[in-house]
Structure 1
Amino acid sequence: MNQPNLSAFIWSVADLLRGDYKQSDYGKVILPFTVLRRLDCLLEETKGAVLKTNQEMAAMGVNPEPFLLRESRQSFYNTSPLDMKKLMGDPDHIRDNLYSYIQAFSPAVRDIFDRFELHIQIERLHKAGLLYQVAEKFANTDLHPERVDNHQMGLVFEELIRKFAEISNETAGEHFTPREVIRLMVHLLFIEDDEVVGRPGIVRTIYDPTAGTGGMLSVAGDYIDEHNPGARLTMFGQELNPESYAICKADMLIKGQDISNITFGNTLSDDGHAHKKFDYMLSNPPFGVEWKKVEKEVRQEHEQLGYNGRFGPGLPRVSDGSMLFLLHLLSKMRPANEGGSRFGIVLNGSPLFTGGAGSGESEIRRYVLENDLLEAIIALPTDMFYNTGIATYVWIVSNRKPEHRRGQVQLIDASGMWQKMRKSLGSKRKEFSDEHIAEITRLFGSFAEAERDGKPVSRIFRNSDFGYRTITVERPLRDEQGRIVLGQKGKLKGKPQPDSSLRDTESVPLKEDVETYFQREVLPHVPDAWIDHDKTKVGYEIPFNRHFYVFQPPRPLEEIDAELMEVTDRIKAMLEGLRA
């Protein structure tokens, strides 16, 4: 059964729930039962061997867990003689038997169902007289990996979450990222690392602090499996939404990952992987979401730990916490002398330019650029995400830049590379084809300036090109007779006092000498001005669109006049017709 048909089949369970459940609550039943049936199918072949071994170990008084894991050939097991099919044989005791079956899973799996709060739904379905019918629907759904592989299963979960989010007016995009966007990020992440895709037996770690349902980790794992089956990619993540966390954990469990590496909670206030460093990282943090709820903890870490914590460079405004995730990932980078790290993060346009010199946002950009950590920024098309149509950008950050990239940043404008979807999904109307992903990856890999259809799509800049100094230009205060007022004490004694009403600021590119700029641009217009150097600030911004702007000359005036005359004549003719 293919993924769309499977999703539609599972969705048909909603027909049973209609009337007893609000639409927005369908997912609370369908998601955990889908996971339960998937795990049930995975254990089907080894069920007999597990039960036999469990009895033998119990008789010997030995801890059975390592033996049961070996027999199940999974990273989990179930010691109940029941399974979903057998549950159907006793309709009168379905509730008690289902509880018994779920409790017989290994502890990590029970935690998944606790996060789903499945016990609450079992009671609710039982009271509505629906528990047997719902369980039967799933018992008759074949989710064996020979019929539905792990990749398909991940797509099923995503499709279901998207549907539930849509009907309950939630933001589906908070839970997962479109697969083709992840594929692009993964290609960019690994393109310069021949070792990880070519050397058998190599072990690497990857981390997602906003893991959602685990899509980014899964796609990265699929990429490594395809390019180097002998490599091992150990996955780590953290997720705040209980249902997404439960699905991510189930997905990792099925793939044989250590699910203790997937932690629950708010990454910004409670780092689930404190003091850990990773080889690769991926993240799609929420756009434009305020961080007021965790402000106390974040500010405390910033003020007390400084650069020994995660938020040393600065704090963005409370209305948008996406740059906090950028700082969090920077803190998780393995030191360069231990192999270094590379990560990809999806951000909206705000982190490129919001905040003037000296602001938290500018200081974060300054830290990234002055430490030569930014490899590239790729502009994505609008309407690529399920919950927003705004412009988005992928930042590729690394502390192990190849020699030819050092001191430089590549900007790639991929906003025009897309194909229209056959059917819109929420705000998502556009998608990348495999050819688009290959083209963007090639542009990144070639690290050269390039054009497409006569317009620039790849440009290379020095890190310092994005820096500037904000200088404060003062002019003298004058009395009623127009005489300059001199200071009477302190450091201004005997010097002209500044007139705050005439004060102005100028932005000077970092690569230009301030005095040279001042004499050329300011003094010819205001000869009595001077610079207050104590107020000079350094800032950084990345005006992405400006670097790809192509001037389109206006049409000749004669052509515009001719068109206006033609329209005027048409209107006159219509009025004449009305009078007749």
Structure 2
Amino acid sequence: MSQSASSLSSLIWSVADLLRGDYKPSEYGRVILPFTILRRLDCVLAPTKAKVLAEALARQKAGINPEPFLLKIAGVNFVNTSPLDMAKLMGDQDNIATNLNAYIQGFTAPVRDIFDRFRFGEQVDRLRKANLLYQVAEKFVGFDLAPSRVTNHDMGLAFEELIRKFAEAANDAAGEHFTPRDVIKLMVNLLFVEDEDILTPGNPAVRTIYDPTAGTGGMLSVAAEHLLEHNPEAKLRMLGQELNDESYAICKADMLIKGQDIRNIVAGNTLSDDGHAGTKFDYMLSNPPFGVEWKKVEKAVRREHEEMGFAGRFGPGLPRISDGSMLFLLHLVAKMRPAQEGGSRFGIVLNGSPLFTGGAGSGESEIRRYMLENDLVEAIIALPTDMFFNTGIATYVWIVSNRKPDHRKGRVQLIDGSGFWRKMRKSLGSKRREMGDDDIDMITRVFGDFLEGDLLKQTTSDGWHFTTFRRTGEAADEASEDGKVEITPVSRIFRNEDFGYRTITVERPLRDEKGKPVFGQRGKQKGLLQPDPELRDTENVPLTEDVEAYFQREVLPHAPDAWIDESKTKIGYEIPFNRQFYVFEPPRPLEEIDADLAEVMGRISTMIRELAA
């Protein structure tokens, strides 16, 4: 963040000094954020205010809708037709609440919607009752936020910083609507690292990026910031949808301040009411709720699944009702631009459940099957625990694309980034760890270069240690005398089919009281050996292995009379992530354990003798 943006956000946040006592720290943002937006818009419109009012009057007299003409004069995608502005509000202290509300009603509808979602009218009334409204408004009037003084870029950064301060003040509740910036930065790096053309300076590329769970817009903002740092000529159109009113208002305001078309930020539930139906995108990012049931939207989702099938968003299958995160995964897949039109790439944060929950034939397994058999999964990266504001559980970033580079086709890269973190100086809710720039750069390089290998932690005899990445196949460095080397697997590459299996049903014959096999007497079962339901069993056979060979080797030696009921065979997929990175640690030598036990027993005997004395 630039110095000017940082100092501006600190200056604006100083308004909290006025609110202290009447407002809780977690409520400061409900006043500061909408007032910041109001003052910025006020300053943006000031140079054209007189012309806009004159044009509005003339067009209204002629019976013509003035808005298109006013927008052209203002040069931005919003106007205000009230004769008031924030400076004029200061001239009538007794009626400031009434006049302030009237001034807001003068904005075009998309801007009014922002203040409605903030429930700004309630805050105005609360400030009035606390005798703070005039003081707060006066403070903001003193901030010169004119574009000639504060660029859109710096204003956007300052507003992001204000959002971050609000998130920190909100603490535990923040996790539902704020994604930590370090997580976003990693996801954005992974999203763009393979696209050199758009990151090349001077390339006037135009791309779209979409977030179906936009929250306060952090992912969209960081993506745009990252792109512009590398290529100032590029343009990124940001689109999103958000359910929570306050988060929606913040996101929409952030986009407005950055000069984006705020009509691209839609309110509502993405799963039951897609606000961008039929639209495809170049890039997408999402951090959907973890482990949240989707019962509220079940009727709409099931209807789309059953009536539209693969022509809708949920064709591959539906997860169990207790966790709807995989529905967002399918939603993003449905939003991918066709490969022949350039394709798409997206990143989504999920908990561990989508990796393995559900056996063959279940909704979760069928979704994984669709993703892997269509070669959509590029990589899955395990994040450290304690990374989010409201949960400490293990989380994973999925990178999904329908335009894989040739060297990635048919492959999935698993990266264990759980050890790449540093302890935060101050915890924020459940967030106790963060990823530093070095951590993010290491994971980005391992992904971008499609590397497979381990992390070597080398400790020398004097206690100094360092870590290096070693590609698979490279010779290991020898530790110095009295030192040691710890090897931790970091990246593994698999074929898509390595995660698939067939669940076969193994039957054994039903026997009568004399122990003789029972055969069917009627219909299609006539003459066929009848299975015993109590002896029925299942086996999971990897897709990469021949079923008959497996059956001969693993089943028949133990049950010579068994057979496979092929009509019940199902194909399943699971991604046992942790199993791929398990490192066996041999137990200590028995002599050491015996010596420790002898020492402990000696201490206990001494204590008993002392007590007896």
Fold shared per TM-score above 0.5: yes
Task: Mark the CA change 1:487 to 1:56 in structure 2 (over 3 Å): closer, same or farther.
Answer: closer
Q: Aligned with 2:273: secondary structure?
A: coil
1:264 matched residue in structure 2: 267
Q: Does 1:541 pair with 2:574?
A: yes
- Percent identity, please: 68
Q: Distance in 2 between matches of 1:72 and 1:569?
A: 88
Q: Aligned with 1:539: secondary structure?
A: strand
1:111 matched residue in structure 2: 113
1:184 matched residue in structure 2: 186
Q: Distance in 2 between matches of 1:425 and 1:116?
A: 24
Find the partner of 1:34 among 18, 33, 36: 36
2:86 matched residue in structure 1: 84
1:47 matched residue in structure 2: 46
Find the partner of 2:164 among 158, 170, 173: 158
The within-5 A match list for 1:191-270 is 191-198=193-200, 200-270=203-273
Task: Mark the CA change 1:348 to 1:6 in structure 2 (over 3 Å): closer, same or farther.
Answer: farther
Gaps of 5+ in 1: none
1:137: Cα distance to partner?
4.1
Task: Mark the CA change 1:72 to 1:112 in structure 2 (over 3 Å): closer, same or farther.
Answer: same
2:465 matched residue in structure 1: none
Are the counterparts in 2 of residues 316 and 361 from structure 1 also a CA contact under 8 Å?
A: yes
Moved more, 487-496 or 402-411: 487-496
1:554 matched residue in structure 2: 587
Are the counterparts in 2 of residues 6 and 156 from structure 1 also a CA contact under 8 Å?
A: no
CA deviation map 1:139-177 (0-9, x unaligned)? 34565675653123112113214423x3xx6x3112121
Task: Mark the CA change 1:72 to 1:570 in structure 2 (over 3 Å): closer, same or farther.
Answer: farther
CA deviation map 1:27-70 (0-9, x unaligned)? 544442333234334x2xx5143323431463365765455445
2:474 matched residue in structure 1: none
1:77: Cα distance to partner?
3.0
- The one-letter code matched in structure 2 to 1:548 is F
Task: Mark the CA change 1:490 to 1:155 in structure 2 (over 3 Å): closer, same or farther.
Answer: farther
Q: Does 1:15 pair with 2:14?
A: no
Moved more, 449-458 or 138-147: 138-147
2:468 matched residue in structure 1: none
Moved more, 80-89 or 282-291: 80-89
- The one-letter code matched in structure 2 to 1:159 is K
CA deviation map 1:294-333 (0-9, x unaligned)? 0000000000000010000000000000000000000001
Are the counterparts in 2 of residues 13 and 30 from structure 1 also a CA contact under 8 Å?
A: no
Q: Aligned with 1:409: secondary structure?
A: strand
Q: Distance in 2 between matches of 1:134 and 1:575?
A: 72
CA deviation map 1:419-445 (0-9, x unaligned)? 111111111111111111111110001
1:349 matched residue in structure 2: 352
- The one-letter code matched in structure 1 to 2:7 is N
1:127: Cα distance to partner?
4.0
Are the counterparts in 1 of residues 9 and 158 from structure 2 also a CA contact under 8 Å?
A: no
- The one-letter code matched in structure 2 to 1:286 is P
2:565 matched residue in structure 1: 532
1:276: Cα distance to partner?
0.5
1:423 matched residue in structure 2: 426
Q: Distance in 2 between matches of 1:176 and 1:49?
A: 36
Task: Mark the CA change 1:151 to 1:28 in structure 2 (over 3 Å): closer, same or farther.
Answer: closer
CA RMSD of aligned residues (A): 2.1
Q: Aligned with 1:226: secondary structure?
A: helix
1:369 matched residue in structure 2: 372
Are the counterparts in 2 of residues 448 and 458 from structure 1 also a CA contact under 8 Å?
A: yes
Q: Aligned with 2:426: secondary structure?
A: strand
Q: Does 1:384 pair with 2:387?
A: yes
Task: Mark the CA change 1:193 to 1:505 in structure 2 (over 3 Å): closer, same or farther.
Answer: same
- The one-letter code matched in structure 1 to 2:194 is E
Task: Mark the CA change 1:510 to 1:6 in structure 2 (over 3 Å): closer, same or farther.
Answer: farther
Q: Distance in 1 between matches of 2:111 and 2:521?
A: 77
1:197: Cα distance to partner?
1.6
Task: Mark the CA change 1:101 to 1:377 in structure 2 (over 3 Å): closer, same or farther.
Answer: same
Q: Distance in 2 between matches of 1:460 and 1:3?
A: 46
2:7 matched residue in structure 1: 2
Are the counterparts in 2 of residues 172 and 386 from structure 1 also a CA contact under 8 Å?
A: yes
Are the counterparts in 1 of residues 56 and 70 from structure 2 also a CA contact under 8 Å?
A: no
Q: Aligned with 1:487: secondary structure?
A: coil
- The one-letter code matched in structure 2 to 1:154 is E
1:505 matched residue in structure 2: 538
1:92: Cα distance to partner?
0.9
Find the partner of 1:173 among 175, 178, 184: 175
- The one-letter code matched in structure 1 to 2:100 is L
Q: Distance in 2 between matches of 1:68 and 1:577?
A: 95
Task: Mark the CA change 1:440 to 1:238 in structure 2 (over 3 Å): closer, same or farther.
Answer: same
Q: Distance in 2 between matches of 1:492 and 1:315?
A: 35
1:480: Cα distance to partner?
1.7
Q: Does 1:449 pair with 2:452?
A: yes
Q: Does 1:293 pair with 2:296?
A: yes
TM-score (norm 2): 0.89
Task: Mark the CA change 1:236 to 1:86 in structure 2 (over 3 Å): closer, same or farther.
Answer: same
CA deviation map 1:181-215 (0-9, x unaligned)? 11111111111112222262221111100000111
Q: Distance in 2 between matches of 1:487 and 1:269?
A: 50
CA deviation map 1:323-381 (0-9, x unaligned)? 00000000001111111111000000000000000000000000000000000001100
The within-5 A match list for 1:132-147 is 132-140=134-142, 146=149
2:523 matched residue in structure 1: 490
Q: Distance in 1 between matches of 2:69 and 2:440?
A: 45
1:129: Cα distance to partner?
3.8
1:262: Cα distance to partner?
0.6
Are the counterparts in 2 of residues 35 and 247 from structure 1 also a CA contact under 8 Å?
A: no
Q: Distance in 1 between matches of 2:211 and 2:304?
A: 21
The within-5 A match list for 1:46-65 is 47-56=46-55, 58-59=57-58, 61=62, 64-65=66-67
1:253: Cα distance to partner?
0.7
Q: Distance in 2 between matches of 1:519 and 1:313?
A: 33
Are the counterparts in 1 of residues 56 and 81 from structure 2 also a CA contact under 8 Å?
A: no
Q: Distance in 2 between matches of 1:460 and 1:99?
A: 59
1:87: Cα distance to partner?
2.1
Find the partner of 1:323 among 321, 326, 349: 326
Are the counterparts in 1 of residues 155 and 258 from structure 2 also a CA contact under 8 Å?
A: no
Task: Mark the CA change 1:8 to 1:52 in structure 2 (over 3 Å): closer, same or farther.
Answer: closer
Q: Does 1:123 pair with 2:125?
A: yes
2:467 matched residue in structure 1: none
- The one-letter code matched in structure 2 to 1:518 is F
- The one-letter code matched in structure 1 to 2:610 is G
2:605 matched residue in structure 1: 572
Are the counterparts in 1 of residues 97 and 133 from structure 2 also a CA contact under 8 Å?
A: yes
1:474: Cα distance to partner?
0.6
Q: Aligned with 1:200: secondary structure?
A: coil
